[in-house]
Amino acid sequence: MNHSRLKLLGSGLVLAIGLAVASWLFFGPGQVNGEPDAPDPGPLPAVALEPAFPHLKFELPLWVGAAPAHSGFLYVAEQNGRIWRFKNDPATKDRELWLDIAARIPAGRHNEEGLLALAFHPKFAENRQFFVCYNVHEGAGKPRRSVLARFIAPAAGAVDTATERILLEVQQPYGNHKGCTLVFGPDSYLYISLGDGGSAGDPHGHGQNLSTLLATVCRIDVDKEGPGKRYAIPADNPFVGRADAAPEIWAYGLRNVWRMAFDRETGLLWGGDVGQNAREEVDIIERGGNYGWNAREGMIAFRDGQKAPGMIDPVAEYPRDKGVSVVGGSVYRGKKHAALAGVYFYADYYTGRLWGLTWDVQEKRVTANELLGHFPAVRIASFGEDEQGEVLVCNHLAGTLHRLTVK
């Protein structure tokens, strides 16, 4: 998530001022239209965001979802290093501090650092394994790192932090563009998004460099270990055997993927990739795909960059007057809203615009792409799902959760 423009400082008033000032500094006055606008007329229904758990509030929530254990619980990960568990009941007033790794998160972290991602092992009910991605920065002159770690949850009660096993660490040159999402695919492998390492314009050229894990989506086997690693490399990863490429890489040329999700029906991997100054994009992330950064930003050239053969265009994009920081969502496969079946949701963090997109798998084309709602008061930081596949939204600034419904 490109929040180098968004000062996520934890205080509502300071944050609101920081957002306004940062937007003016980076984009100029009037370049982002924050006024509410009506949903597009079209075949897709308008949506609303209703309070999901009015008695609960969190600090900078960045992830919400259920474990594959059919327990009736939901989990919320906060950027400052805590994960809470509570019953999926709108009337609940109780929550349990399930994991607390706040001490691992630097007090002076960049506003894009912290605990960014959570994923439960597909066999969580049996092995109790879950995975997180967080950032470490031990002070001036010391390297920043993104950390992928596994924990073991007890059958009841809080997680013992001593169960942590670090699987992977990736050095980071700057504090922004961390972009981590963790998601298990239909193949039971773990997919990991990593931003380009930060600053602006990808100054180190990570986007087109296959020797680094930055600016990529990686795919690893967490159930095995390979030589010198605490995980294994799937044999069919696209760059296995290439001396000039990291074998973990699944796709590359991605600036800062903020939230990706598999469609459980089609198996497609969807992601929102945050742009630099001109375009926010939505991608279907394919095996071995090159998405163009930093030669391309969306469907246009970045700094006179050329579109090389094989570079993949986004399936959708929007310009700077519609928003500044895309948030990838998920394809709706719930039961409550038949009119939303197959709709991929995505949003803009800053403006609160929320779109719906439908995709023809056979024709490989967008069949609808509409503004379904505009929620300027909601800082949509992440989409999630409960056990029934109903969509939830994290309101990052207010610390609340919302349920997506049809108007």
Q: What is the distance between the alpha carbons of residues 388 and 381, in angstroms, rounded to a whole number? A: 21
pLDDT of residue 44: 98
141-154 exposure pattern, b = at least 16 Cβ within 10 A, e = fewer: eeebbbbbbbbebe
Q: Do the beta carbons of residue 193 and residue 271 sit within 8 Å?
A: yes
* Chain position carrying tokens 């100029």: 28
Q: What is the distance between the alpha carbons of residues 392 and 380, in angstroms, rounded to a whole number? A: 10
pLDDT of residue 15: 36
Number of CB atoms found within 10 A of residue 138's CB: 10
Q: Distances from the Cα of 223 to the Cαs of 143, 161, 233, 239, 247, in angstroms?
A: 29, 20, 10, 20, 17
Eight-state DSSP code of residue 189: P
Determine phi and psi for 189, rounding to 5 degrees. -90, 155
pLDDT of residue 33: 55
pLDDT of residue 18: 41
Those residues of the chain that have pLDDT short of 70 are: 1-35
Alpha carbon 374 to chain centroid, angstroms: 20
For residue 75, give the CATH number of its domain. Answer: 2.120.10.30
Number of CB atoms found within 10 A of residue 126's CB: 9
Q: What is the distance between the alpha carbons of residues 377 and 12, in angstroms, rounded to a whole number? A: 12
List the structure tokens of 319.
């310009």
pLDDT of residue 25: 28
pLDDT of residue 385: 98
Q: What is the distance between the alpha carbons of residues 37 and 371, in angstroms, rounded to a whole number? A: 9
pTM beyond 0.85, yes or no:
yes
pLDDT of residue 21: 35
pLDDT of residue 244: 97
Q: Is the dihedral of CA 109, 111, 112, 118 positive or negative?
A: positive
Which residue range(s) make up the domain with 316?
3-406
List the structure tokens of 355.
């779109």
Q: Do the beta carbons of residue 331 and residue 341 sit within 8 Å?
A: no
pLDDT of residue 14: 34
Residue in 56, 4, 31, 107 with CA at minimum distance from that of residue 395: 56
pLDDT of residue 211: 98
Number of structural domains the chain divides into: 1
SS3 at position 322: coil
